[in-house]
Structure 1
Amino acid sequence: MNPSAQDIVRHAARTLHRGARLDMTRLCGELGVSRATLFRRVGNREELMGAALSLMSERTLVEANLDWRREHGTGPRDAQGRLRCLGVMETYRREVAADAGLRKLMDNEPVVALRVLTDPVGQVQPVVVRAHAELFRADVEAAGLRPLVGVEDLSFAVVRLGESFLYADALAARTVDLDVATTLLDALVVGALGR
């Protein structure tokens, strides 16, 4: 077997999702490659973890978008008038919070996990920020909104605030409260996107 970098990242994502530790020696054995090959293709452990968590985030965002479409169609608002971006972001946060593998990683390696997940120049946060910006742009265009701030700035603020709630237990020894996160983030987005 000669796995590509993508194969290795997918294998690492499955490993993290099932709650197992990302052990490079074990990965080498499972994939049939040397440590040098593994490092050459995907970098060190934190780089591989970042790529795997980024892939998991992308998949979760895609699923959250599909959930919205299945339930509400392709329009920018649901039957109650709530913007699509708000529903998709809430679904995303709830899925991330419910991921048992990610919770186990946060419990076992909080410092490393937080560093990888929240690094503004890492592999995870920039992907999530860009995805949120795309959601905002789509709703701004479809609903004819006039944002009071740039969507990139809004996206960064929403992701950072969302992280503070998603990882509240590790960041501030607080209980994760996604209902409060949704209330605050919805108010922020609705206020910033204008009418």
Structure 2
Amino acid sequence: MPSDLDRRRAIDTAASMYLAEEPLDMSALAERLGVGRATLYRWVGNREELLATVLSEATERTYRKAITQASGEGPAYILDIFARVMRSVEASAELRALTRREPIVFVKLAMMPGPIESISSAITAEILQAQVDAGTLTIALSPQVLGNALVRICDVHLYAPLLGRENAEIETALDLIALLLGVIRT
């Protein structure tokens, strides 16, 4: 059984490879860690699982940063968070490098149920619940259901170029989010 420290070291090293825009090669990662491939796989699972972990941690950091920078309350605050998250993701050189190298893998990891969707939906549900609790937002669905829907809207529009569209459709996603929150963007 791997120690938490070993697993964390492997994830952090994989993250540094991602941030350096390097392909995540399990043999190269095992070599950097000074372990065999079999040991690495015991620590972190397969390559896609490790990449999903790296991307879900990056996703959480992006959301947390947007939360601290966003302003307003209720729907305006939520829209500001989503705008910041989507623009940050769109501007990420590391993510562009990954999606150029492995578009199908990225679409699978980002748009199917898994760690990336889970963290995005959970954080969105937290944000929605906090605004409901503060009395600045009324929603007709549970924060979890609405949160998952908002994340899916963002995914489809943000990653539109990977799905055959010319450009990301951030403004369309924000308009749809506003509509679901009961407001109209001006």
TM-score of the two chains, using structure 1 as the length reference? 0.85
* Deviation for aligned residue 1:168: 0.4
CA distance in structure 1 between the aligned counterparts of 2:123 and 2:96, rounded to whole angstroms: 22
* Aligned mates of 2:177, 2:59 — CA distance in 1: 19
**Matched residues in 1 for 2:97 and 2:54: separation?**
15
- Residue 180 of structure 1 pairs with residue 178 of structure 2: no
Equivalents in 1 of 2:166, 2:107: separation in Å?
15
Paired with 2:169 and 2:112, the residues of 1 have a C-alpha distance of 22
Query: What is the alpha-carbon distance in structure 1 between the residues aligned to residue 171 and residue 83 of structure 2?
Result: 9
Residue equivalent to 1:5: 7
CA contact (8 A) 2:63 2:81 kept: yes
- The equivalent position to 1:119 in structure 2, one of 107, 112, 115, is 112
* Aligned-partner Cα distance in 2 for 1:146–1:166: 26
Cα-Cα RMSD: 1.8
Question: How much has 1:179 moved relative to structure 2?
Answer: 2.1
Q: Distance in 1 between matches of 2:112 and 2:23?
A: 20
Unaligned runs of 5+ residues in structure 2 are none
Is 1:142 the counterpart of 2:142? The answer is no
Post-superposition CA distance 1:96-120 (Å, at most 9, x none):
1111111111111111111111221
> Shift of the alpha carbon at 1:82?
5.1
Q: TM-score, normalised by structure 2?
A: 0.89
Counting only pairs closer than 5 Å after superposition, residues 13-162 of structure 1 correspond to structure 2 as: 13-68=15-70, 72=71, 77=73, 83-120=76-113, 122-162=114-154
The offset of 1:149, in angstroms, is 1.4
Query: Do 1:9 and 1:48's aligned partners in 2 also have CA atoms closer than 8 Å?
Result: yes
Q: CA deviation at 1:158?
A: 0.7
Which stretches of structure 1, 4 residues or longer, exceed 6 Å deviation after superposition? Answer: none
Aligned-pair CA distance for 1:164: 0.5
Stretch of structure 1 that moved more, 182-191 or 20-29: 182-191
Alpha-carbon distance, 1:146 to partner: 2.9
Alignment match, 1:190: 182
Q: Percent identity?
A: 32
Q: Match of 1:172, as an amino acid?
A: G
Unaligned runs of 5+ in 1: none
Q: Across the two proteins, how many residue pairs are aligned to each other?
A: 180
